[in-house]
Structure 1
Amino acid sequence: MAKIEPGNGRKSAESHKSLRGTTESLALTDGEGNPFGSDSELNAYTSERQTDKYGFIGGAQQYSEHSAENIPPEVLRQREAKWLDMLNNWDKWMAKRHKKMKLRCQKGIPPSLRGRAWLYLSGGKVKREQHKGKFEELDSQAGDPKWVDVIERDLHRQFPFHEMFVARGGHGQQDLYRVLKAYTLHRPEEGYCQAQAPIAAVLLMHMPAEDAFWGLVQICEKYLPGYYSAGLEAIQLDGEILFALLKRVSPLAHRHLKKHKMDPILYMTEWFMCAFSRTLPWVSVLRVWDMFLCEGVKIIFRVGLVLLKCMLGSQDKLKTCQGQYETMELLKTIDTRYMQEGFLVREILELPVSERDIEKEHLASVRRWKETRGELHCKSLPRMHGAKAIMAAEPPSRQDLRQNPTIIVESPLATKSNGEDKERKKTKEEKNGKKNSSPTPVAAYLEPSEPSPLLKDTALLGSNQSLSSTEHDTYL
Structure 2
Amino acid sequence: MASVQVLCLTAGFLHVQGRDDCQRPASSHGRIFCHSYKEVTEDSRVIAEEVPIEVLRQREAKWLEMLNSWDKWMAKKHKKVKERCQKGIPPSLRGRAWLYLTGGKVKREQNQGKFQELDEEPGDPKWVDIIERDLHRQFPFHEMFAARGGHGQQDLFRVLKAYTLHRPEEGYCQAQAPIAAVLLMHMPAEDAFWVLVQICEKYLPGYYSTGLEAIQLDGEILYALLRRVSPVAHRHLKKHKLEPILYMTEWFMCAFSRTLPWASVLRVWDMFLCEGVKILFKVGLVLLKCMLGSQEKLKACQGLYETMERLRAIQPQYMQETFLVHEIIELPVSEKDIEKEHLAQLRRWKETHGDLHCKSPPRMHGAKAIMAAEPPSRQDLRQRPTIIVESPLAPNTAAEQAEDTKGRRKTVEENGKETLLPPQQTDNLNPPPSDSSLLLNHTNIPGSKESLSSAEHDTYL
Which interval holds the TM-score relative to the shorter structure?
A: 0.7 to 0.9
Aligned residue type for 2:384 = N
Is the contact between residue 57 and residue 451 of structure 2 (CA under 8 Å) also seen in structure 1? no
Report the counterpart of residue 183 of structure 1 in structure 2. 163
Report the counterpart of residue 95 of structure 2 in structure 1. 115
Is the contact between residue 61 and residue 280 of structure 1 (CA under 8 Å) also seen in structure 2? no
**Which of 281, 284, 298 is equivalent to 1:301?**
281
Where 2:226 maps in the other structure, the secondary structure is helix
Report the counterpart of residue 383 of structure 1 in structure 2. 363
Q: Which runs of 5+ in 1 are unaligned?
A: 1-18, 24-57, 417-451
Aligned residue type for 1:397 = S
Report the counterpart of residue 85 of structure 2 in structure 1. 105
Give the 4+ runs in structure 1 shifted more than 6 A: 461-464
Aligned residue type for 1:223 = Y
Larger deviation, residues 457-466 vs 386-395: 457-466
Using a 3 Å threshold, how does the CA distance of structure 1 residues 65 and 247 change in structure 2: closer, same or farther?
closer
- 1:316: how far off? 1.0
Report the counterpart of residue 397 of structure 1 in structure 2. 377
Report the counterpart of residue 27 of structure 1 in structure 2. none
Q: Is 1:409 aligned to 2:390, yes or no? A: yes
**Which of 345, 353, 360 is equivalent to 2:333?**
353
Report the counterpart of residue 459 of structure 1 in structure 2. 441
Report the counterpart of residue 433 of structure 1 in structure 2. none
Deviation per residue, 1:101-151 (Å, 9 max, x gap): 110000000001100100000110000000000000000001011111111
Give the share of equivalent positions with the same residue, in percent: 78
Report the counterpart of residue 130 of structure 2 in structure 1. 150
Report the counterpart of residue 460 of structure 2 in structure 1. 475
Aligned residue type for 1:459 = N
Aligned residue type for 1:286 = L
Larger Rg belongs to: 2
- 1:161: how far off? 1.1
Report the counterpart of residue 271 of structure 1 in structure 2. 251
Where 1:458 maps in the other structure, the secondary structure is helix
Is the contact between residue 126 and residue 400 of structure 1 (CA under 8 Å) also seen in structure 2? yes
Deviation per residue, 1:300-353 (Å, 9 max, x gap): 000000000000001111111111111111100100110011110100000000
Report the counterpart of residue 84 of structure 1 in structure 2. 64
Q: How does 1:20-419 map to 2 (within 5 A)?
A: 20-21=12-13, 59-60=39-40, 67-405=47-385, 406-410=387-391, 412=393
Is the contact between residue 80 and residue 467 of structure 1 (CA under 8 Å) also seen in structure 2? no
Q: TM-score normalised to the size of structure 1?
A: 0.77
Deviation per residue, 1:375-429 (Å, 9 max, x gap): 11011111010001000100000010001233343464x759xxxxxxxxxxxxx
Larger deviation, residues 403-412 vs 122-131: 403-412
CA distance in 2, matches of 1:306, 1:411: 50
Q: Structure with the greater relative contact order (CA < 8 A, sep ≥ 6): 1 or 2?
A: 1
Q: Which runs of 5+ in 2 are unaligned?
A: 1-10, 16-37, 397-433
Report the counterpart of residue 429 of structure 2 in structure 1. none
CA distance in 2, matches of 1:298, 1:455: 40
Using a 3 Å threshold, how does the CA distance of structure 1 residues 354 and 61 change in structure 2: closer, same or farther?
farther
Where 2:361 maps in the other structure, the secondary structure is coil
Aligned residue type for 1:178 = R
RMSD of aligned Cα (Å)? 2.7
Deviation per residue, 1:52-81 (Å, 9 max, x gap): xxxxxx94399x995211111111011111
Is the contact between residue 112 and residue 474 of structure 1 (CA under 8 Å) also seen in structure 2? no
Where 1:167 maps in the other structure, the secondary structure is coil
CA distance in 2, matches of 1:265, 1:66: 27
Using a 3 Å threshold, how does the CA distance of structure 1 residues 298 and 455 change in structure 2: closer, same or farther?
farther
Is the contact between residue 207 and residue 474 of structure 1 (CA under 8 Å) also seen in structure 2? no
Aligned residue type for 1:329 = E
